[in-house]
Structure 1
Amino acid sequence: MHYPEPISKLIDAFTRLPGVGPKTAGRLAFHVLRMKEEDVLDFAKALVNVKRNLHYCSVCCNITDIDPCRICQDKSRDASVICVVQEPKDLVAMERTREFDGYYHVLHGAISPMEGIGPDQIHIAELLKRLGDEQVKEMILATNPNIEGEATAMYLSRLVKGFGLKVTRIAHGLPVGGDLEYADEVTLTKALEGRREI
């Protein structure tokens, strides 16, 4: 049996979202069908507003509704440090710690030859412009601890060798509350390499 066209189109639309398969898309579509009309309209407005009202910050490339973004406008932050992250959600995670008071740069991806993503497909050129500023003394590489994140961090560290910057990488290793017996070899190796005196 086939669904009526409106529900089929909605299911198809949901399957285009990452991580949403046909069964989940069907559940979501039928949930929308059961929602109050005003809730559906609010949901649709939220989708349209995200598309129409958000853009990249002209300074750090984070997503924002104002330009420059609120973080880049904050003059109380430390202008000598730029933390490089892969995605806007990584910036949000860093901000939640309340430990970093410098500025950010969002790459919107990582170098991944397998997926056809090279340095030109992420926001490296914008980063290099910012690093030419004499105020910047340190670049913290906070890319993900996977193959793509490591490759991107290595590429960036080599690229800025002549800038006279201190280049650091966030530590990797065991999560707080984790057990050694469940950690893989790479995580344990990184934890040993990142050890410090107490």
Structure 2
Amino acid sequence: MPRAVAGPEIERLIQLLARVPGLGPRSARRAALHLIKKREQLMSPLASAFEEVLGKISTCRVCGNIDVRDPCSICVDETRDPTLLVVVADVSDLWALERAGAINARYHVLGGTLSPLDGIGPEDLNLKTLIERAHDGTVKEVLLALGATVDGQTTAHYVTEMLRDSGVAVTRLAHGVPVGGELDYLDEGTLAAAIKARTSL
């Protein structure tokens, strides 16, 4: 077992950073050391930002986005097309599409994808409110912006079947999204092209 090289407080910081996606133990140590060296410029403002966000963060009751207001900034934006609803698996996918700036629509976050192997079924996803939104008379098109993974495609087929009697057009991202790809890791150009070339299901 490796020895601790710093006090328990610093080791705790490293362990917490190692839980962040994309950071392993080595990267967490480097990040912690960098934060400590730049504590006035980085660590102190970061701690303040965490404290401020912690008290204000909420999940939007309409779409499932994460924001400091509920309903979120996107749901209350009157310049967005209310007839187009973009369905994503996770908030990170919503943010990726927003970074691409290729679509000015409203969103719906499922909170994951169907995955029988992981025990994730329809009851674990935010499907009930999606069906309600699709049947409210405002939405004309539901764009399934789900990853091109097996679970993403399984979810897309399931949602398509659930919306068959809604009278809305169900479309999906074009195949420019690579098979096995996750939306959050794609560049903005690929996302924009995939949205523009969406097809009916």
1:21 Cα deviation after fit: 1.7
CA distance in 2, matches of 1:36, 1:26: 15
CA distance in 2, matches of 1:101, 1:38: 36
What residue is the counterpart of 1:129 in the other structure? 132
Q: How does 1:1-198 map to 2 (within 5 A)?
A: 1-3=3-5, 4-37=7-40, 39-173=42-176
Indicate the structure (1 or 2) with the bigger Cα radius of gyration. 1
Cα 1:99–1:195 shift into 2, 3 Å = closer
Question: Alignment partner of 1:12: what SS?
Answer: helix
Normalising to structure 1: TM-score of the pair?
0.79
Cα 1:76–1:12 shift into 2, 3 Å = closer
Cα 1:28–1:76 shift into 2, 3 Å = closer
What residue is the counterpart of 2:187 in the other structure? none
One-letter amino acid of the structure 2 residue matched with residue 88 of structure 1: V
5+ long unaligned stretches in structure 2? 179-193
Normalising to structure 2: TM-score of the pair?
0.78
Cα 1:113–1:93 shift into 2, 3 Å = same
1:154 Cα deviation after fit: 0.9
CA distance in 2, matches of 1:174, 1:37: 42
Identity %: 39
1:174 Cα deviation after fit: 7.1
1:163 Cα deviation after fit: 1.4
Q: What do you get for the CA RMSD once the two structures are aligned?
A: 2.5
Cα 1:113–1:53 shift into 2, 3 Å = same
One-letter amino acid of the structure 2 residue matched with residue 31 of structure 1: H
Does the Cα contact within 8 Å between 2:81 and 2:104 map onto a contact in 1? yes
Cα 1:49–1:112 shift into 2, 3 Å = farther
Question: Alignment partner of 1:71: what SS?
Answer: coil
